[in-house]
Structure 1
Amino acid sequence: MELSERRGRGPDGRGRLGSWLVAVSAVALGPTACSPEPSPPVDTACVSLSPGTAPIRRMTRFEYDRTVHDLLGDETQPARSFAPEEEVLGFNNQAAALGVTQSLAEQYMKAAEKLAAQAAQHLTRLMPGCDPTRPEADACVERWIRDFGRRAFRRPLDADEVKRFATLFDWGRDDYGGVIGVELIIQAMLQSPHFLYRVELGMPDPVAQGVVQLSHYEIASRLSYLLWSSMPDDALLDDAEAGRLGTPEEIRVAAERMLHDPRAREAVLEFHRQWLELKHVDLMTKDQKTYPAYDSALRPLWMAETEAFVEHVVFDEPGGSLTTLLTAPFSFMNAELAAFYGVSGPTGTAFERVELDPAHRAGVLTHASVLATQSKPNQSSPIHRGKFVRERLLCDLIPPPPANLPITVPEVQLGVTTRERFAQHREDTVCSGCHALMDPIGYTFEHYDGIGQWRDLDQGLPVDATGNISRTEANGSFDGAIELSTHLARSAQVRACVVSQWFRYGYGRAEKEEDQCSLDQLGDTFRRSGHSIQALLVGLTQTDAFRYRRQGGEP
């Protein structure tokens, strides 16, 4: 379902999010390669129960490592060696792309064997009060199978499953001893689809045809992987067992508890790493002749700054709003990073809060992690920076250039500014349609060079950082990134885009027509909270799309 075709229910015939949703697909006023002809919004009332289809979800590498940490106490992060996930919509957790190849299955097997062997070395921690090497251990091993299985599968094991795992233990014990029997159980559980996937069978809703209501245990898993990127804890599983995750209010109480757990911080950071495309920080290279201040040791400092800033804004700053994320005139840095930025204050290696010159730095878009990532090795890139804003904050996807079009980056020229060199893209009729959507946004960042340092001059000439956004509902002209960030923070289109980005990441899929009511509800929650990120996270647990799924259909 195209964004432009979503249903609405506002007084103008659109949903609360409908105005920008139409704009996202109607990028231009006339048809070009980058501006498809918009479809008119469909005016129809929301139904009372309207979830989208939710495909089965496999753990990502990030979720796998966090899950085996919480399940076994493992610190080795074995999934770092797994095959990387395919990105869809800018995220690596989209269910439709999370298949299992033969190679990945073998990696799961090897990891399970290694994790089981390591866990079996600490039986008193793994199986307190139970010694599997004793002849009379059958009863306590069966109790452990039930307890460990509930945690690994995130639901109670049925009698047949308990019997199969007990039989597996017997095989291992009879041939090699009780410790090997335990290892075999762990190996088998860690390779089971019930561990690797979030299986959601649910029960058909008694009223809404074709709709499945998730079980309490399935809701527990949705909560834990949304808010912790890991398995439910015992308290959440106990809530599920007691039937305390059936109503929106019960789910809200659980979600608010979970957001106070330290695990929520790392999960929220992972969303921002992907949303802000920070994975590229570790991969970037820079020309040290062009940027003598650059050193590869800066890259982890750039990441640490952005992560500390995001964590503080979301969890520690009163309100924890999107506005603060985009416009706050403070950040976190140590002495080395402060010297890079030309900021005074920190004197040691520890990161601390630093107040910034609000004319030069404000919000996450002026962090070196973002600016350097969206640049070339030897120059800034208005194209990459503009495309980043367009796609990640305005939810306006730019199509790739034609396959037969040669792509060349303007060479650095003495006495010619970056803006002047990149202007040629807009003079070429083949290129101008798309570049008109990106370059004018990117120009507003020209006070920051290719490693994110402030500059007043480019090639000895004054920087021109004026730019604009066009062909959206966030149109405007700006002089510099601070004005741009302030405008973006106030934009209904940006706020709605952030809702959609969290929807995609949190639910592991793209929006569908059936999700419009859930999107409207999320947008309303976000607005009424003053655009609090935590309120949006809780809101994600309150929708039809979270508590139900539609049977059949395309993922």
Structure 2
Amino acid sequence: MTDRVLSSNRLRGALLRHKRALAIGALVLALVFLAGAQFFEPSEPEPVGGPPMVRRLTEEQYRASIADAFAPDVPIVGRFERPVRAEGMIAVGTGQAGMSPFAIEQYDASAQTIASTVLGERRAQFLKCGPKNPQVFDPNCARSFLTQKGRLLFRRALSDEEADKYVDLARKAGRQLGNFYQGLELSLYTMLVSPEFLFRVERMAPAADGAHPQLDPYSKASRLSFFLTNSAPDDELLRAAESGELDSRAGVDRQVSRLMASTRFEGAVRAFFADMMQFDRFGDLSKDPEIYPAYNSDLAQDAQEQTLRTVIEHLITDEGDYRDLFTTRNTFLTRNLGIVYRTPVPQRGEWVPVTFSPSANRAGIQSHVSFLALHSHPGRTSPTLRGYAVRQVFLCQDVPDPPANVNFTAIEATAHKPNVTARDRIFQHATEPSCAGCHKVMDPLGLTLENYDGLGTFRRHENGALIDTSGSLDGTDFDSTNGLASALHDHPETPRCVAERMYKSAVGRDITWKERYYLDWLISGFEDDGYRIPALMRRIATSANFFTVTRPAPAGTLAFGASGGKSQGGKL
């Protein structure tokens, strides 16, 4: 009996110890779960991708491609037509842009000049072979030059058939012109007007049954290079594509690290933010010289450069939090800008770092001349344009266009009357039923920015009246430009917007409906990384979804959800 009691006690003790061990284990697991962001990172959702794209080169990409293939000082004489903007970005519009007769003429003129420069006056710099007698055709030299340059211009190796075609064209032209070099020049010109150069044509790789279709290696290289350098793939990246390196995660990681460490990475970030900030519109911007005598083309260039220098210094050099761009007082000025900002800049023609005091009311890039002047009228401010721009550019929120029959007479007539401010002028539109809905979401932001005139100079009075700068942003009230800066910094759509735009810019299209989970994963990772833009770009470039594509729909069918999907939230 005693033995049975002892045995029973031992069993109960063992069970108790086991329960305690389970409880301790559960507690440890709970603590780890609560600190989950510290130990675990949610894996990327199943890749779904979108359709492969055909994207026209932007002006910057065209110029960079010619510089990389030949030299930065090779002249480009053609003018570039106005780019198409879609989803708020030229980078997306390049996938929807056609080609006008004007564009074809300009590409033709540029191609002729480039080819004649490379194989004419500067032939010795770019061509290291050739016959002693120009009337003799040298097939080996022609093939070597054309395949080498064609590889860089077409962003892939030429097929044997293509190489034969361009060599044969050089042979026939050289025979007719009586000069080997002129025949080679014509063949190069033909490459420069080819759609294979002017458009980024993405192609799918053969995929096994059940596997996710992906871009082929050369298309992967192009997508990586234009996203991370805003230029065509260099020789090393093309080599990685040819060797199969880009088919592995480790290979992609190596190339992403290399490209992001290069000096060209900064150019890609500058291009993205210039696109996002709509700086291409400066070409059409005008200001009344009597009202704003300080405005000229030099100031316009300096204003854009100021914002881009601020972006690069904060996001790349300092690896700062993206949201702090809306509150930072650190920037750079030239003497021209110093006049507008009323900040002395002693050095003429030089950029100097400046930190505005808290009382200067210059917190964030939304207080820069580049934003304020761009979203104003030639002779006055516009709270509506500025409020619309804040919503659209920084928060990715859609605001409908105004009705076609809006009457602006009352606003124009009272623009410069004594004791009349912009708040007084837009009262009529804000209370008109057909206008009130949109004005309620735009004007409270723009009215706070009324402390800046139509050029961006700070002021406290308009037409002799004290400016009321009270406003609000989605439930957050403020009464100063510094308050607006904090509200933009803290708004949940601020980081979501830039992440969404960054991905759209990278793939050249809108987000598909099935990609919404990928976008949520991307934004969650952006938050975990402290809202660092380089980390966001690396996350995109190394994700499986970045290279995944969908198969084209069968002819005669309607494919829903191929584009047009929006991220959850953020749209008005």
TM-score interval, normalised by the smaller of the two chains: 0.7 to 0.9
Structure 1 residues 159, 201: CA separation in 2 closer, same or farther (over 3 Å shift)?
same
CA distance in 2, matches of 1:173, 1:391: 55
Say whether residues 1:426 and 2:425 are aligned partners.
Answer: no
The unaligned stretches of length 5 or more in structure 2 are 1-42, 553-558, 564-572
Which residue is equivalent to 2:48?
50
For 1:353 and 1:127, how far apart are their aligned partners in 2?
A: 45
Encode CA deviations 1:463-507: one digit per residue, 9 max, x unaligned: 22110123xxxx311222222222212222111111111122222
Give per-residue Cα distances to partners, 1:187-234, cap 9 Å, x unaligned: 12112222122222222432546x521122211111111122221111
Aligned to 1:373: 374
The answer for unaligned runs of 5 or more in structure 1 is 1-44
- The aligned counterpart of 1:40 is none
Q: Aligned to 1:477, what secondary structure does the other structure show?
A: strand
**Distance in 2 of aligned mates of 1:79 and 1:246:** 39
Cα distance in 2, alignment partners of residues 74 and 133 from structure 1: 30
Conserved? CA contact 2:47–2:518, under 8 Å: no
Q: How many residues align?
A: 506
* 1:279-358 aligned within 5 A: 279-295=280-296, 297-317=298-318, 319-344=319-344, 346-358=346-358
Query: Is 1:87–2:74 an aligned residue pair?
Result: no
In the alignment, the residues of structure 2 paired with residue 79 and residue 389 of structure 1 have an alpha-carbon distance, to the nearest angstrom, of 36
For 1:539 and 1:193, how far apart are their aligned partners in 2?
Answer: 31
Q: Which of 465, 472, 479 matches 1:468?
A: 472
- Tell me how far 1:515 sits from its aligned partner: 1.9
User: Which residue does 2:115 correspond to in 1?
Assistant: 116
User: Residue 550 of structure 1: CA displacement?
Assistant: 0.9
- State how far apart, in whole Å, the 1-side matches of 2:276 and 2:487 are: 19
CA displacement at 1:391 relative to structure 2: 0.9
| Contact 2:107–2:193, Cα closer than 8 Å, also in 1 | yes
Contact 1:521 1:543 in 2 (8 A): no
Q: Cα distance, 1:292 vs. partner?
A: 4.9
Q: Is the 8 A contact 1:52 1:514 kept in 2?
A: no
In structure 2, how many angstroms separate the alpha carbons of the residues matched to 1:203 and 1:352?
Answer: 50
Cα–Cα, structure 1 residues 111 and 306, in superposed 2: closer, same or farther, change >3 Å? same
- Seen in structure 2, the aligned counterparts of structure 1 residues 103 and 334 have a Cα distance that, compared at 3 Å, is closer
- The residue type paired with residue 499 of structure 1 is A
* Structure possessing the higher relative contact order (Cα contacts under 8 Å, 6 or more residues apart): 1
**Which residue identity does 1:194 align to in structure 2?**
E
Task: Please name the residue that 1:199 is paired with.
Answer: 201
**1:57-456 alignment, distance < 5 Å:** 57-73=55-71, 75=73, 78=76, 81-93=79-91, 94-121=93-120, 122-131=122-131, 135=136, 137-176=138-177, 177-208=179-210, 211-295=212-296, 297-317=298-318, 319-344=319-344, 346-359=346-359, 360-408=361-409, 409-410=411-412, 411-412=414-415, 413-456=417-460
1:10 aligns to what?
A: none
Secondary structure of the residue aligned to 1:380 is coil
Q: Do 1:61 and 1:79's aligned partners in 2 also have CA atoms closer than 8 Å?
A: no
Q: TM-score, normalised by structure 2?
A: 0.83
TM-score (ref. length: structure 1): 0.85
CA–CA separation in structure 2 for the residues paired with 1:170 and 1:136: 6
Query: CA contact under 8 A between 2:51 and 2:551: conserved in structure 1?
Result: yes
Label 1:207 to 1:250 Cα distance change in 2 as closer, same or farther (>3 A): same
Q: Partners of 1:47 and 1:208 in 2: how far apart?
A: 17
Aligned to 1:30: none
CA–CA distance in structure 2, aligned partners of residues 445 and 46 of structure 1: 40
| 1:114 to 1:184, Cα distance in 2 relative to 1, 3 A | same
**Which deviates more from structure 2 when the two are superposed, residues 216-225 or residues 108-117?**
108-117
Q: Which amino acid aligns with 1:140?
A: C
Superimposed CA distance per residue, residues 427-468 of structure 1 (whole angstroms, 9 cap, x where no aligned partner): 111110110110011112121111111112222222221101
Identical-pair percentage:
28
Note the aligned Cα RMSD (angstroms): 2.5
Q: Is the 8 A contact 1:132 1:179 kept in 2?
A: no
Work out whether residues 137 and 171 of structure 2, in 8 Å CA contact, stay in contact via their aligned partners in 1: no
Query: How big is the shift at 1:349?
Result: 1.8
Q: 1:115 to 1:390 in 2, by over 3 A?
A: same
Question: Contact 1:214 / 1:549 at 8 angstroms: preserved in 2?
Answer: yes
Question: Aligned with 1:354: secondary structure?
Answer: strand
- Larger radius of gyration, structure 1 or 2? 2
Distance, in Å, in 1 between the alignment partners of 2:63 and 2:132 is 27
- Contact 1:65/1:79 (8 A) holds in 2: no
Inter-CA distance 281–137: structure 2 relative to 1 (3 Å threshold): same
Change (3 A) 1:375 1:551: same
Q: What SS class does the counterpart of residue 354 from structure 2 fall into?
A: strand
For 1:533, the aligned partner's letter is: I
How big is each residue's C-alpha offset from its partner over 1:72-128, in whole Å with a ceiling of 9 and x where there is no partner?
225466376133222222222324422223443333233222211111122232223
Equivalent residue letter for 1:172: A
Structure 2 vs 1, CA of residues 228 and 241 (structure 1 numbering), >3 Å: closer, same or farther?
same
1:244 is displaced (CA, Å) by 1.5
CA-CA distance at 1:389 after TM superposition: 0.7
Task: Note if contact 1:52-1:513 (Cα within 8 Å) is conserved in structure 2.
Answer: no
TM-superposed deviation, 1:296 = 5.2
Paired residue type of 2:256:
A
Cα separation, 1, equivalents of 2:253 and 2:180: 43
Contact 2:45 2:518 in 1 (8 A): no
- The 3-state SS of whatever aligns with 2:400 is coil
- 2-side partners of 1:520 and 1:207: how far apart? 28
- Whole-angstrom CA distance in 2 between matches of 1:270 and 1:459: 39
Give SS of 1:379's match. coil
SS in 1 for 2:451: coil
Aligned to 2:23: none
- What secondary structure sits across from 1:376 in the alignment? coil
User: Aligned-pair distance for 1:381?
Assistant: 1.1
Q: What is the CA-CA distance between 1:341 and the residue it aligns to?
A: 1.1
1-side partners of 2:407 and 2:341: how far apart? 37
In structure 2, the CA distance between the partners of 1:221 and 1:293, relative to structure 1 (3 Å rule), is closer
- Judge conservation of contact 2:119–2:127 (CA < 8 Å) in 1: no
Deviation string, structure 1 residues 405-425 (Cα, Å, up to 9, x no partner): 434444312111222222222
Q: Return the offset for 1:517.
A: 3.3
SS at match of 1:465: coil
Alignment partner, residue 39 of structure 2: none
Aligned to 1:34: none
> Which residue does the alignment assign to 1:17?
none
CA separation of 1:57 and 1:294: change in aligned 2, threshold 3 A: closer
Structure 1 counterpart of 2:550, one-letter code: R
Q: Does the 8 Å CA contact 1:499/1:536 hold for their aligned counterparts?
A: yes
Higher helix content, 1 or 2: 2
Q: Counterpart amino acid of 2:117?
A: Q
CA contact (8 A) 1:133 1:179 kept: no
| TM superposition shift of 1:250 | 2.5
1:422 & 1:374 partners in 2: Cα distance? Answer: 16
Q: Distance in 2 between matches of 1:136 and 1:191?
A: 24
Q: Secondary structure of 1:203's partner?
A: coil
The aligned counterpart of 2:512 is 512
